[in-house]
Amino acid sequence: TESVDIDRFTAWLRAFAGAIHEHAAELTELDSAIGDADHGSNMDRGMTAVAAALDADEFASAPALFKKVGMTLVSSVGGASGPLYGTFFLRFGGALGEGDADVTALGAALHAGIDGIVQRGKAEVGDKTMVDAWMPAVQAYDDARGDGLAAALRAAAEAAARGRDSATPLVAHKGRASYLGERSAGHQDPGATSTVLLIESAAATLAA
Ligand code: ADP
Ligand code: MG
Ligand code: MG
């Protein structure tokens, strides 16, 4: 059966760091419309620090790897997204065992990660945040799990993108965008956009 080892997890993190770097200007542009124009620079700073940590250290297990990732994001990213992504990775890694993760174990870890984001940020689907991309992604993963890891991750990435787009017409109820009230409607959420990059990176690397 297919399973994900630490090298694939590391490839995922490097791919996400690359995607964030490539899209940093776009993420900041989205945040300039409904926030404070720093989401791209926040995430790029955080994932650059994560990539440096991957270069500097060898990690013996996935939980140890993701603990480092989460703590690096919490400490290097100012703003809402640092603690939220940091919590995701801490919980995700905490739910993994020491060995390789199969499609079921990866699904359980994804659930633990998104539960952490919701506990921390208190956003629900429809509040126009990253949760609008995460929730349908995890649901799609569950639904496609029987078709194997690659199919489940691909379904998750597609659902995340649809979730991101479904949030665009909505009024924000959490985070800085909520300060704009009705004027937040019609703008794509930056955090939902970076979440799509994270899940697309997973689909491109974890089952490769
Ligand atoms: P800040 O808003 O502090 O400047 P960022 O710009 O880096 O932080 O991140 C903004 C993104 O964080 C938003 O687009 C949204 O997706 C996400 N976000 C903000 N608040 C919450 C929350 N309470 N729950 C989930 N996601 C949130
Ligand atoms: Mg911001
Ligand atoms: Mg900010």
pLDDT digits (tens, 9 = 90+) for 96-149: 998 899 999 999 999 999 999 999 999 999 999 999 999 999 999 999 999 999
Using H for helix, E for strand and C for coil, what is the string for 31-98? Answer: HHHHCCCCHHHHHHHHHHHHHHHHHHCCCCCHHHHHHHHHHHHHHHCCCCHHHHHHHHHHHHHHHCCC
Pocket test residue of 42, 84, 165 for ligand 1, highest count of atoms within 8 A of CB:
84
Question: Which atom belonging to ligand 1 lies closest to the Cα atom of 131?
Answer: 25
Ligand 2 center from residue 40 Cα (angstroms) = 8
* 120, containing H or E segment: helix 103-121
ipTM of the complex: 0.99
* Per-residue confidence band for 2, with pLDDT thresholds at 50, 70 and 90: confident
Cβ–ligand 1 contact at 198 (below 6 Å) = no
The residues near 203 (Cβ < 8 Å, ≥ 6 apart) are 150, 153, 154, 156, 157
Q: State how far the Cα of 151 lies from the Cα of 144, in Å rounded to an integer.
A: 6
Rounded distance between C-alpha atoms, residue 183 and residue 30, angstroms: 14
Strand partners of residue 102: 3
- Condensed to tens digits (0 to 9), the pLDDT of residues 48-77 reads 999 999 999 999 999 999 999 999 999 999
Q: Is the CB of 191 under 6 A from ligand 1?
A: yes
pLDDT at 165 over 90: yes
Sequence length of the chain is: 208
User: 206 φ, ψ to 5°?
Assistant: -70, -30
Give the start-to-end residue ranges of the domains of the chain.
Answer: 3-205
**Ligand 1 contact via 130 beta carbon (within 6 Å):** yes
Distance 78 CA to ligand 3 centre (A): 7
> How many Cα atoms within 13 Å fall on the side-chain side of residue 98?
1
* Residue to substitute in 43, 77, 81, 114 for testing ligand 1 pocket (most ligand atoms within 8 angstroms of CB): 81
Is 81 a pocket residue for ligand 1 (Cβ < 6 Å)? yes
Query: Which pLDDT band holds residue 187 (cuts at 50, 70, 90)?
Result: very high
Q: Is the CB of 35 under 6 A from ligand 1?
A: yes
Shortest-distance atom of ligand 1 to CA 190: 14
Note whether 44 and 67 are within 8 A (CB): no
Task: Report the top-level CATH class of 3-205.
Answer: mainly alpha
Closest Cα to residue 156, out of 169, 147, 143?
A: 143
Residue 167, CA distances (Å) to 61, 142, 153, 184, 199 in order: 36, 21, 21, 10, 17
